[in-house]
Amino acid sequence: MTQSIAIVTGAAGDIGAAIAARLADDHDIVLLADIDAEAAAAVALKLGPGNRFVAVQCDVTSETSIAELARRAADVGVVRTPGQQCRCCPRHQPARHDARDLAGGRCA
């Protein structure tokens, strides 16, 4: 079974951690992305046991880092983007994207 994933950037901060906690209600796994990997890991431990919250080092100003985040997400499951327009076709509003497609800017 494919797992749904939420990605939270800036997850090591208070707002990011609160968003991650809320998104866990709707997703199987929450990737906690932050430039400070240790702080993101601490938030993951605080939010819950096991691998439900996964800390990932990510610099959102780096395309390479974002692409790696998308690859990590694709290894785990499907990123849901309800209500968001995809970058590749303005008339299409997909309910789900494979993270590999998000990294490449293509619809799933």
- Contacts of residue 30, Cβ cutoff 8 Å, sequence gap at least 6: 5, 6, 7, 8, 20, 23, 24, 47, 52, 53, 54
| Band of pLDDT at residue 81, cut at 50, 70 and 90 | low
> Would you state the torsion angle of the CA atoms of residues 54, 85, 83, 96, taken in this order, to the nearest 10 degrees?
-50
In this prediction, residue 101 carries a pLDDT of 52
The angle subtended at Cα 16 by Cα 92 and Cα 107, nearest 5°, is: 20
pLDDT in tens, 27-65: 889 999 999 999 999 999 999 877 889 999 999 999 999
Rounded Cα distance between 65 and 68, Å, is 5
Q: Is the pLDDT of residue 83 over 60?
A: no
Q: Is the pLDDT of residue 96 over 50?
A: no
Give this prediction's pTM.
0.71
